[in-house]
Structure 1
Amino acid sequence: MEKRKPGSGGDCAISVMAKAPRPGHSKTRLCPPLHPQEAASLSAAFLRDTTENLRVAAETIAIARYAAYAPLGTEAGLAPHLAADTPLILADGSGAPAPGVEGFGRCLLDATMGPFARGHTSACVLSSDTPNLPTSYLVSAARLLAAGDSQRVVLGACDDGGYYLLGMNAPHAGLFADIAWSTETVAEATRARARSLGLDMIELPSWYDIDDAAALDRLLRDERGYAAPFTRRAIAALDLAALLQGERAA
């Protein structure tokens, strides 16, 4: 069988929302207890594990892997933290506007429309804040989309009210309209938008993203899901278990 080239059309595309890790700009809600450099190191590990997890999922079902990034000009700082053969898609919100789509929604829209323009039959956006997401959830997203028509939408909600994955079989910009981003209402508002558009939404099991100290502590104690080896190594190198227990020296 001929090996599928990264980014080839005709399959499910999953784009990880990615930014080059930078101290003072990455995982700032983890500071404190982390220092900015530590937060950036952890962000880099999350990116690597998320894109590696996608690579593993693509061994089971046809998935085209992308990193949807911003801003333009940061490609060199991002590439070392991605799994091999992960193409980049610019998702800085500069694409064609859509009614009611603002802020981060425009970046998500770019990350969705880019794969459709490349000929993919379905497109998903994926958070980089779930490094231990079970690989089977990614496989299920691709399978559910393959089994549906143009009205099929797949949502993977997070415990905090956001979502880790949103996928669709046709461009539905309205799913990103009138959403209060970075709030606990994102997933529910997206469900409501899907209902108003007459879409067939199927939900994956919920998971949790790592965006504060409590979630980081949960990750340290949780052995479920993808092994996340880069994240586990970063946790050990930074001695985060001791930090969260208040035992690490300042």
Structure 2
Amino acid sequence: MTQFLVLAKTPVPGRVKTRLCPPWTFEQAADVAAAAVSDTIATVSSAPATRRTLVVDGDLPAPAGWKRLPQRGSSLEDRLANAFADTAGPPTVLVGMDTPQLTTELLARAADLTAADATLGLAEDGGWWALGLRKAGDASVLRSIATSTPQTGKQTLVALRDRGLRVALLPVLRDVDTAPDARAVAQMCSVRGRFRSTVEGMTA
């Protein structure tokens, strides 16, 4: 069975989701980030797993039944690769906090590493929202790929294939980076989720 990692940043005003400002304030952006983390954790908690780990920047505590691991590295590229290295063992799927529309069905597809060596979910903005690896060592390719660019996802796919891995692609999802992103993604989320109610409650 697969383990899941959630890479997250503690939702401190002025340090998270600053591209939401304007139209929202730093405090509102932090509320949106907190809601995204909450819904992501709830979904991952519902998926079968050998282990669930919150890989966190800051002092955000892990939920009950989860392990907690501080992010390690000076760049996002290193923090991603180190998250896999520091939890090496079973097949692993890493997701971030920017896709609260995540479902257990999507996680099941990401965790299906029986016929593939890796699974990759590309994002509309050019990045990726999920990476599943049968072997943690294959995450070393991430160290040489610049993150947060329109080519990050494609370059990741090429690097994995160049390593000789069989890669299964997952559905493309929209990240929450801007206020229009947040509003669009909120409509994809469950009405019972925290993210949708938080975004719909914004006055700006």
- 1:51 is the counterpart of 2:41: yes
CA distance in 1, matches of 2:140, 2:86: 16
State the AA in 2 paired with 1:204: L
| Cα distance in structure 2, aligned partners of 1:227 and 1:65 | 25
Shift of 1:19: 1.3
Aligned residue number for residue 172 of structure 2: 206
Deviation at 1:92, TM superposition (A): 2.1
Which structure has greater strand proportion?
Answer: 2
Per-residue deviation, 1:135: 2.1
- Find the counterpart in structure 2 of residue 105 from structure 1: 77
Q: Structure 1 83/231 Cα, relative in aligned 2: closer, same or farther at 3 Å?
A: farther
Pairwise mapping of residues 29-68 of structure 1 onto structure 2 (< 5 A)? 29-58=19-48, 62-68=49-55
Contact kept, 8 Å, 2:53 with 2:69, in 1: the verdict is: yes
- Per the alignment, residue 88 of structure 1 pairs with 68
Contact 1:132 1:227 in 2 (8 A): no
Whose radius of gyration is greater, 1 or 2? 1
Rounded to whole Å, the distance in 2 between the matches of 1:129 and 1:238 is 18
In the other structure, the counterpart of 1:163 is 128
**Structure 2 residue aligned with 1:23:** 13
The answer on whether the counterparts of 2:133 and 2:139 sit within 8 Å (CA) in structure 1 is no
Gaps of 5+ in 2: none
Separation in structure 2 between the aligned mates of residue 42 and residue 228 of structure 1, nearest angstrom? 15
CA-based RMSD of the aligned residues comes to 1.9
> Residue type matched to 2:81 in 1?
L
Residue 228 of structure 1, CA deviation = 6.2
Measured after TM superposition, the shift of residue 193 of structure 1 is 0.4
Once residues 2 and 191 of structure 2 are traced to their aligned partners in structure 1, the CA distance between those partners, rounded to angstroms, is: 23
In structure 2, the partner of 1:130 is: 99
Q: For structure 1, list consecutive stretches of 5 or more residues without a partner in the other structure.
A: 1-10, 95-102, 244-250
Distance 2:87 2:181 in 1: 31
Aligned partner of 2:78: which letter?
R
Structure 2 residue aligned with 1:115: 87
Q: Distance in 2 between matches of 1:176 and 1:182?
A: 12
Cα deviation, 1:72-113, whole Å, max 9, x if unaligned, reads xx33xx12xx5432211122217xxxxxxxx21110011111
TM-score of the superposed pair, with normalisation by structure 2:
0.91
The question of whether the paired residues in 2 share the 8 Å contact of 1:55 and 1:83 is answered with: no
Q: Is the 8 A contact 1:90 1:110 kept in 2?
A: no
Identity %: 30
Change (3 A) 1:113 1:63: same
Structure 2: how far apart are the matches of 1:36 and 1:131? Answer: 19
| Number of equivalent positions | 203
Give the counterpart letter for 1:92 in structure 2.
Answer: R
Once the two structures are superposed, residues 2-50 of structure 1 have per-residue CA deviations (whole angstroms, 9 ceiling, x without a partner) of: xxxxxxxxx3111111111111101001011110000011111111100
